[in-house]
Structures are given as C-alpha cells and as structure tokens.
Amino acid sequence: MDRTELPARSRPWRRLLLAAAVTAVAAAGCGGAVWIYFHPPLTRLDGVVYGQRGDRSLTMDVLRPARPNGFGVAFLASGGWKSPAAGAAPAWPLAPLLRRGYTVFVVCHVSQPEATVMEIIADAHRSVRFIRRHATEYGIDSQRLGVAGGSAGGHLSLMLAACGGPGPADAVDPVDRESSAVQAAAVFYPVTDLLDLTGSTEDPGDGGPPKSFVAAFGPDAVDPDKWPAIGRQCSPLSFVTADFPPTLIYHGDADPLAPLRQSLRLQRRAADLGREVEVVVHRGGKHGWWTMFWDVRRFADWFDRRLRAL
C-alpha cells in the first residue's frame, strides 16, 4: 500500500474530529453562559424574621441584585401550602427578576396542617407589611411592590392582590399598621375558587374542600355547614374588586390539579370590573412545565411595565 494515500484517507476523520471539537467547545460555552445567566451576582440574607406563628418564627430570604432598580417583589414560596425552610429555596429560578434589578423577598410560612390555610394567608399579609415597613432599609419603593408565586404560592399571591390593604391604625406592632396591598401580580396556575373545583382531581364531588387538603383548612372544614364560609374566605375570586391590581397568570390547559377555568373565571370577574388580568395559556401544560423558568422573564417584563407606570 502506498503510504502517501494515508493522509488523504484520514482527512475526513480529521474534519470529523475538528467538527466534534468545535461542537464540544460551543456546547461548553453555551452551558457556561446558561449557568452564568441563572447565577447572577447578588447579596443574600437568609432567615429574616418577619413575624411569629405560635412558637415558630416566620422567615423570608432577601435576595438583593448587584444593580437594584428600586423595586421589590415578594415571592411566595409555597406548594400545597407547604413551604421550605429559611435559605432552602434556590435563587436561580428567580434569576430573570434579579437580573432586571428586582430585590426579591422569598417568603416562607409554617406549612399546613401545622398552620391552616387561613393562618398562612394572614401570615402572607404580615410579610408584605414587614417588607413595606422596612422598604427604606432594602432600598425599594414602598408604594411599588409586586407579588409572585406558583400553585399554592400563586393562590396566596392572588389573596394578597384581592385583599391587601391597610392594617389597623391602633395596632401595637407598627408593622401591623402598614398596608399589605401589592401593586402588581404575576403567578403560575393558581386555584381561585375553592368552592368550585370542577375538573380538578381534588374535586370531592360534593362541594367540600380539596380531597388531599382537608386537614389544611382546620377541623371545621369537614362540617358541610361551615365549609362554604371557609372556602369563600380563602378564594381570591370572592374578593375581586375595582381595586384589583394588574395581574398576569400563566396556566396550562392540561392542568389536572388546578384547571385552567380557575384562572379564566378570575379573568372574567376582573374584566367585568374593568380590571386587567392577562391569562397566558401554555398548550399541553400540566401543573408545571420544564420551561417555566424562562416564563419568569415575562414576569419581569410585566413588573417593568406595571410598577414603573405608577
């Protein structure tokens, strides 16, 4: 065999190896860029105590971006009305907000059934009052606060949007005198009406509380005469008024737990009162989807437009 033929025969392999090397370098570069994007520079202060629930401290993690824009967003960290411990919630899903300059307050609560949903809602109000009271310390505008969350966190966010308001003027604790109102909301797949769970896997079929969460609403939830008042008290749909803040909802049309109709009904109620609720339907989306972290960029866009316009 003529050895002069070997280099020519090896050229295709060289080209393949070169292409593979270039691809590997490009992939590493892209992976590095993605990692950098989701790990923005920030100052993190975990476990800030904003109140008490019995003998338990209520805490939030304060995430301050390197270049704050002067606005704050309370992120209600809750799934199934259960919340992580202080410092346990990762910052990377909130990277789009942090990169846009928002100071993010990751609000945690005592998980059900140790705390009832009604108590958790009350503690969510307390968290916003605390943020507003200490706004100057955190370098944010106390009159331009956003709220965000997903699932139970979305439900709690909408309860704040619907019911937030001034605290008692004669409250002993000055934090409790502050307003718990928020000026904009952006949430994922919330439940909005606990009295009508049609289409949900949690629908008991008799108008009662969600099947897997009966204990979360306290012992009276099993009483058919008392549940309607409890369910209404915990349903954002029941409290939509002409003061409802601009709200963005991302919801999957294949969600088995919180059907899309939950958000669409809230949207219609708000529209009847001239209020803005935008529902973005994620086709085929169930109770969560893997590109949700990318949708948080749209949350940042929403807060940019709604909070800056005030």
pLDDT at 40: 87
pLDDT for the residue 33? 63
Q: How far apart are CA 188 and CA 202, in angstroms?
A: 18
Contact 97, 186 (CB under 8 A): no
Q: How large is the average pLDDT for residues 172-186?
A: 98
Q: Is residue 151 left, alpha or beta, with left meaning phi > 0 and alpha meaning psi from -120 to 50? A: left
Segment 95-105 mean pLDDT: 97
Cα–Cα distance measured from residue 258 to residue 94, given in angstroms and rounded to the nearest whole number: 23
pLDDT tier at 174, thresholds 50, 70, 90: very high
- CATH number of 42-308, picked from 3.40.50.9100, 3.40.50.300, 3.40.50.1100, 3.40.50.1820: 3.40.50.1820
Mean pLDDT of 160-174: 97
Residue 10 has pLDDT above 60, yes or no: no
pLDDT tens by residue, 202-211? 999 999 999 9
Tokens 């507003």 sit at which residue? 132
Q: What percent of the chain has pLDDT over 90?
A: 86
**What's the confidence (pLDDT) of residue 26?**
47
Nearest partner of 202 among 265, 130, 262, judged by Cα: 262
Average pLDDT in the chain: 92
On the question of pLDDT at 307 being above 70, the answer is yes
How far is it, in rounded angstroms, from Cα 37 to Cα 143? 29
For the whole model, what pTM was predicted? 0.89
228: confidence class by pLDDT, cuts 50, 70, 90:
very high
Give the pLDDT confidence score for residue 310 in this predicted structure.
Answer: 84
Least confident of 8-17, 85-94, 130-139, 236-245: 8-17
Task: Report, as an integer, the average pLDDT of 68-89.
Answer: 97
DSSP string, 167-211: PPTT-SSHHHHS----SEEEEES----TT--TT-TT--SSS-S-G
Q: Please report, as a single letter, which amino acid is at residue 46.
A: D
Q: Which residues contact 127 (CB under 8 A, 6 or more apart)?
A: 50, 51, 58, 60, 74, 105, 107, 109
- Reported as a single tens digit per residue, the pLDDT across 23-76 is 655 444 545 667 677 788 999 999 999 999 999 999 999 999 999 999 999 999
The pLDDT tens digits of the residues spanning 270-296 come to 999 999 999 999 999 999 999 999 999
How many CB atoms are closer than 10 A to CB 118?
A: 14
CA distance 269 to 6: 76
Q: Identify which has the larger pLDDT, 71 or 12.
A: 71
Question: What is the number of residues in the chain?
Answer: 310
Whether residue 5 is predicted with pLDDT greater than 60 in this model: the reply is no
- Quick check: 249 pLDDT over 60? yes
Beta bridge partners of 105: 62, 74
3-state SS assignment for residue 257: coil
Q: Is the pLDDT of residue 114 over 90?
A: yes
Domain positions in the chain are 1-37, 42-308
